[in-house]
Structure 1
Amino acid sequence: MDVPYDGAGASRPNTSPPQTSRHPARNPVTPTGRGFRAKFFSPKNNRLVRCESLLEFDCLHLFEFARGVVRFVEQPKTIRYRVGAASRTYTPDFAVDWSDGRRWLIEVKPADVLAEQRNQEKFDRLSEVFKSQGEQFLLLTDLQIRKSIRLAQIKTLLQVRYGKWLDGATQPAVPSSLANRTIAEALRIGASGRSIVHRLAARELTCCLDTEITGSTLLLPFEESHDDALFV
């Protein structure tokens, strides 16, 4: 991202999310039982979210960045289900609550692990179980989460979003409409690089994140579909 901005230090805003479903059903542990692998401070949840893998850690950046995501919780509940005569239990990696009322139950796994026959059968069955309960179950892999350019730019924009230079008293003046202009055009009508990045970080404006942000990047007004596209 070569649009200039000042400062990228992350800070913790003093905001508290609604007091619902904020904590996991059980403490996250790795399959070896050695405990969680990483901790991610989520301003949306105003707490540390624990991860079993570094892939989960990267995934949390997408949840935090998506404008429509209100909150998310690790390992939200455990269900019992049947495969043939066998009874099994399963705990999703995350539950994600959206401002429009949707709730996603999510499993995060490497694509090559999900490709194994036993896992395909397991998660096909779980999809059926959750659908029968009226719940939306999604599988997210490294192919969606770790798109290198997109993930790097999301991490940078999150640093900008929570950096002190974005405090209300220091927000830069912005021309009335930057949507449907390229960054170069926005700069020509008086926007600063800092103000453009501010609005991208806040998701007031969006752009294609799968290619490097440059002067030719087109700025778009935010739509809900832009959040859904983060997980594709």
Structure 2
Amino acid sequence: MTFCDDGGEQSDVLARVHHRPFESGRPVRALRTYKGQRNFVGEWWSATTGDHVGFESWVERDRLMELDFVRESVGIASQPFRLGLRVGERAVAHTPDYFVRCGDGTGWVVDVRPDALVGEHDAAVFAATGRCCEAAGWRYTRVGELDPVFAANLRWLAGYRHRRCLDSAIAAVVAEVLAAAPMPIGTLAERCGPPIVVLPTIFHLIWIHRIATDLGSVPLSLASVVRGRSAA
């Protein structure tokens, strides 16, 4: 495999380097833009890392947003390394989209490709990548488009992902009020103070999983019922 660190590009056998902090490394290849490009390339500010992480399409952006949201993520890197794979009789180089360090110390490798764009060769490459990751003790997933309702709700909450949206005093009041019973977000905001002041903290608390609501079934609204952590 090939990866980049402060010393530049390095190559080694995966079995000898699988313990490295790939979530802190540099991309093994640059994300490029050019005139007439059909896919959208950009960077996502990650609340998990406190830094920008690259993406190469809107589908990747949404999946990166999800990786930033899920509880187990403590580190995320884009284009973390290039694997040398054997697919049938061919030697193939493949660069996974993301490496995620989980809170329990394990690694998670993620490839993003919509189902409709996965051909026979692509499927074989992803399968070989999965076997390689399994040998390294990492989890591997190939994901496609994020559910549209969940994606829309995460995009809204992501606007409040920065810690500056959290008011600790308001958060304490929110926890106290929710200890009595779950209630709609709008009702909760009114009981905790001026809604325009309280709502950013409520949305941030949902983002960091301190309180919970249904994000997968219907669009988030002031009528969405929110629960305290102990009731989630």
Is TM > 0.5 for Structure 1 vs Structure 2? yes
Q: 1:178, 1:186 within 8 Å by CA — same for their partners in 2?
A: no
Distance 1:189 1:98, change over 3 A: same
Q: 1:38, 1:52 within 8 Å by CA — same for their partners in 2?
A: yes
Instruction: Give the TM-score normalised by the residue count of structure 1.
Output: 0.71
Alignment of 1:56-205 (within 5 A): 56-114=60-118, 116-142=119-145, 145=146, 147-162=147-162, 164-168=164-168, 173-176=173-176, 178=178, 181-183=182-184, 187=188, 190-191=191-192, 194=199, 196-205=202-211
Q: Could you tell me how far apart the structure 1 residues matched to 2:203 and 2:92 are?
A: 48
- Answering whether residue 58 of structure 2 is matched by residue 54 of structure 1, we say yes
Q: Could you tell me how far apart the structure 2 residues matched to 1:37 and 1:189 are?
A: 40
Distance 1:160 1:185, change over 3 A: closer
Q: What secondary structure, in the 3-state scheme, does the structure 2 residue paired with 1:160 have?
A: coil
2:215 maps to 209
Q: 1:221 aligns with which of 218, 221, 229?
A: 229
Q: Which gives a bigger RCO, structure 1 or 2 (Cα 8 Å, sep 6+)?
A: 1
Q: 2:165, 2:204 within 8 Å by CA — same for their partners in 1?
A: no
Q: Could you tell me how far apart the structure 1 residues matched to 2:100 and 2:22 are?
A: 14
Once the two structures are superposed, residues 99-141 of structure 1 have per-residue CA deviations (whole angstroms, 9 ceiling, x without a partner) of 1222110100111012x22222222232223223322110110
Q: 1:175, 1:190 within 8 Å by CA — same for their partners in 2?
A: no
Q: Could you tell me how far apart the structure 2 residues matched to 1:170 and 1:81 are?
A: 52
Q: Could you tell me how far apart the structure 1 residues matched to 2:171 and 2:227 are?
A: 19
Structure 1 segments unaligned to the other structure (5+ residues): 1-17, 227-232
Q: Could you tell me how far apart the structure 1 residues matched to 2:185 and 2:85 are?
A: 55
Instruction: Give the TM-score normalised by the residue count of structure 2.
Output: 0.71
Larger strand proportion of the pair: 2
Count of paired positions: 202
